[in-house]
Amino acid sequence: MIVPVNRLGMTISMFILFLCAGNASAQDNSGIVKYTNPKLSVEERVSDLVSRMSLKEKVMQMQNNAPAISRLGIPAYNWWSECLHGVARNGIATVFPQAIGMAATWDPELIYKEADVISTEARAKYYECSSQGKRGIYQGLTFWSPNINIFRDPRWGRGQETYGEDPFLTGRIGIEFVKGLQGNDPKYFKVIATAKHYAVHSGPEPARHSFDAWCSERDLYETYLPAFEYLIRCGKAYSVMGAYNRFWNEPCTASDLLLDKILRKKWGFSGYVTSDCGAIWDIYNGHKLQPDSIRASVLGVKAGCDLTCGDEYTSLVNAVKKGYISESEIDVSVKRLFTARFRLGLFDPDSLVQWSRIKPSENNTPSHDQLALKVAEESMILLKNEKNTLPFGKNIKKIAVIGPYADRVTVLLGNYCGTPSNPVTILKGIRDMAGSKIDVLYAKGVDGLEDASYPPKDKSGKPIPQPSATDLEAQALQIAGMADAIVFVGGISPYLEGEEMDVNIPGFSGGDRTSLDLPANQANFLKKLAIIEKPIVLVLTNGSALALGRGAENVKAVLETWYPGQKGGIAVAEVLFGKYNPAGRLPVTFYNSVDELPPFTEYSMKGRTYRYFTGTPLYPFGFGLSYSKFKYLEAAADKGKYSSADTIKINVKVKNEGPLDGDEVAQVYFQKKDSKFERPVKSLCGFLRKNIRNGSTETIVLKVAANDLRIFDPSRQDYYIEPGTYDLLIGPDSGTASLTVSIEVR
């Protein structure tokens, strides 16, 4: 008899009692109850297990907080865990840069390594918790990450959770993140990744429970769906989360079009679908599409939503009694859910599951800490550097570090984060890097806009009295006058932008933004600092694009750091002092003003992102400076004509004419000027980050799948590779990519 007692918490006595009372007809030839036999297929085992469950037991397993079924030896399991940029909300774990910073690396291979570390820490934490009988929220192996919604508008507060505005970049980063999480074992998932929020979802936050998003078929298939298709087809993501909002008047979490026709029938998805939390409740309470919980739950399950984050599906027992849905339809969802648990190895002995060798000690290790630093380094984007202000030279003997976020841990983390064991703030990173040779002075200067709502407190919980705004400014101006250079650490924080937040400060609303400008108090103070006539370096913390026209016009250098993770302070200091040559690239467009954008509630892509924006941006998508200068010399394709199934190889010669070794991110965009379809201005179709030694010339090979030149054809109701000539534009960013290679696709 095989008794699968691993770390599930099943007792041997419980299991033997069950076997003695079992149905002999449900045993295999060896006398073993089928679902306990690892030698049988997962399908056979799941079918056997579900056949033993009552309707009520089945329905209860369709909640995120699934209770134990003691008589079957099934422990409780909570499906809700988070790992957007590290294992989140479950104690100490390695905290990597926020997702938008991960995208800024333009380095999918690095993000694969990050995700592999995250899934190792997830297993380590799971085994630590389960060994103590802990099976609560955030303690499982099914993770509701990544967020691959397209960051169509910088006002969306949750854009920080995404990989930016481009479907191709989002897909390439997302595929590797999913692969790193789910592992490479052909039988057992390391953890399960969930692609969210499916689909056509990117704000506004305050209206998400009742909002109906509308866009054209072309925008749907060419902007909002491709990243999900990439993750399902190429990344093999085994879970999908539906969005809160409606799309074309169907709730996304119960959309026959999205969940059945596209996800399962068109893309061949075989995993399970979960609702966002309370999204089934929203069907009748927010969207007003059904009269009650019973009808909303039936709608969700029939469309293909297998799991609810909530308790709405408890009403399905009555739904079956009323004839609204059959038990066999419920069985489909329950089987999908248990297939996932079996494929995680949760019903098999440890000896069969390679991931069970991961120990609790493999969480938060020094090597993981170093990888967090590596990702932070690669995410740094130098946006401005007048007169080579950076890196600081030997003439800099005293630095004034000023700003509301210089010494604040929260701006390292962003949202959906874990707890770092040894975070390094930007101030600490600068001080440590400066050592004893450079004097580092510090003053806050101005408050963050959120400070009035989140004042520092003493050990008893009482607010600590803070200096007045006048005193803060005076202190900062005094040290600025004593310094050789000024580092102002400003921008915004995760207390201002994020998910459905209770924030109503000028420029912010419910987690979203109404303005792209620097906060007014920072902009005004930067003008006062400029009067001192010392070089000012603006270090930004933020999760979305900022308009830097007001207040920042006099700064000599701008470094974009996002929310850079637990070692963000070290990465920033390395760039400032020239220990690291920055090479991050923007995954979003930086606009000059919110006035350049269409209304936030419009989901048409016209006028949005580099693909459809016809104005001149502040900084274009893909932009980023270096301490080196890279010159694109020539480019040539491996041949002139291609079929739609081919991979186009472009050899690009790039010379590093600068004084330092450095990474260059070569990018290729495509255009088809004689198309019979309405097309974007240009679209990313390939990129590669490569290190080039100073003074040397390297050949970078950019690979473009001809299939990625596709367009949606409404007459075919499918994608189409339009025959003809395509121009491939190669260069360092979307604004200046001009080295052109023309190819023909037949």
**What are the boundaries of each domain within the chain?**
377-587, 630-745
In sequence order, the 6+-apart residues with CB closer than 8 A to the CB of 252 are 197, 198, 199, 200, 201, 242, 243, 244, 245, 246, 258, 279
Task: Compute how many other C-beta atoms are within 10 angstroms of the C-beta atom of residue 113.
Answer: 16
* Active-site choice (128, 153, 166, 276): 276
Token digits of residue 388? 């080579």
Single-letter amino acid, residue 284: Y
Which CATH fold topology does 377-587 show? Rossmann fold (3.40.50)
Quick one: which of 511, 512, 743 has its CA closest to 641? Answer: 743
Task: Compute how many other C-beta atoms are within 10 angstroms of the C-beta atom of residue 578.
Answer: 14
**For the chain, percent helix, then strand, then coil, each to nearest 5?**
35, 20, 45
Half-sphere exposure of 90 (CA within 13 A, CB side): 32
Sheet harboring 246-247: ordered strands across? 212-213, 246-247, 250-251
Q: For residue 744, list its beta bridge partners.
A: 641, 725
Quick one: which of 582, 593, 611, 562 has its CA closest to 734? Answer: 611
* Active-site choice (497, 517, 663, 664): 497
Token digits of residue 77? 């399991």
By three-state DSSP, how is residue 653 classified? strand
pLDDT of residue 3: 37
Do the Cβ atoms of 43 and 307 come closer than 8 Å? Answer: no
Q: Say how far residue 675 (Cα) sits from the centre of its chain.
A: 34
Q: How many residues make up the chain in this entry?
A: 746
Check whether domain 630-745 has CATH 3.40.50.1370, yes or no:
no
Rounded to whole angstroms, how far apart are CA atoms 593 and 514?
Answer: 11
Rounded to whole angstroms, how far apart are CA atoms 369 and 421?
Answer: 10
In sequence order, the 6+-apart residues with CB closer than 8 A to the CB of 652 are 632, 634, 635, 666, 699, 700, 701, 702, 730, 739
Annotated active-site residue 502? The verdict is: no
- The phi and psi torsions of 159 (rounded to 5 degrees) equal -60, -25
Rounded to whole angstroms, how far apart are CA atoms 542 and 550?
Answer: 17
pLDDT of residue 199: 97
Q: What is the 3-state secondary structure (H, E, C) of 495-511?
A: CCCCCCCCCCCCCEEEC
- The phi and psi torsions of 161 (rounded to 5 degrees) equal -85, -10
In sequence order, the 6+-apart residues with CB closer than 8 A to the CB of 29 are none
- Distance in Å from the first CA to the final CA of the chain: 61
Helix ranges, 39-141 (H): 42-51, 55-60, 99-104, 108-131
pLDDT of residue 11: 38
Rounded to whole angstroms, how far apart are CA atoms 85 and 173?
Answer: 13
- The phi and psi torsions of 456 (rounded to 5 degrees) equal -60, 145
Token digits of residue 465? 């009295």
Rounded to whole angstroms, how far apart are CA atoms 405 and 494?
Answer: 11
Rounded to whole angstroms, how far apart are CA atoms 570 and 405?
Answer: 15
Report residues of the chain scoring pLDDT below 70. Answer: 1-26, 28-31
Q: Look-up: residue for tokens 């001149």?
A: 616
Annotated active-site residue 484? The verdict is: no
For the chain, state the CA radius of gyration. 27
By three-state DSSP, how is residue 692 classified? strand
In sequence order, the 6+-apart residues with CB closer than 8 A to the CB of 476 are 400, 402, 443, 444, 445, 446, 525, 529
pLDDT of residue 30: 64
Q: Write out the H or E segment, with its range, that includes residue 471.
A: helix 469-482
Do the Cβ atoms of 391 and 577 come closer than 8 Å? Answer: yes
Cis peptide before 146 (omega within 30 of 0): yes
Query: Which pairing describes strands 724-731 and 662-671: parallel, antiparallel, or unpaired?
Result: antiparallel
pLDDT of 260-310, one tens digit each? 999 999 999 999 999 999 999 999 999 999 999 999 999 999 999 999 999
pLDDT of residue 36: 96
Rounded to whole angstroms, how far apart are CA atoms 1 and 294?
Answer: 43
Query: Which pairing describes strands 647-656 and 697-705: parallel, antiparallel, or unpaired?
Result: antiparallel
pLDDT of 407-438, one tens digit each? 999 999 999 999 999 999 999 999 999 999 99
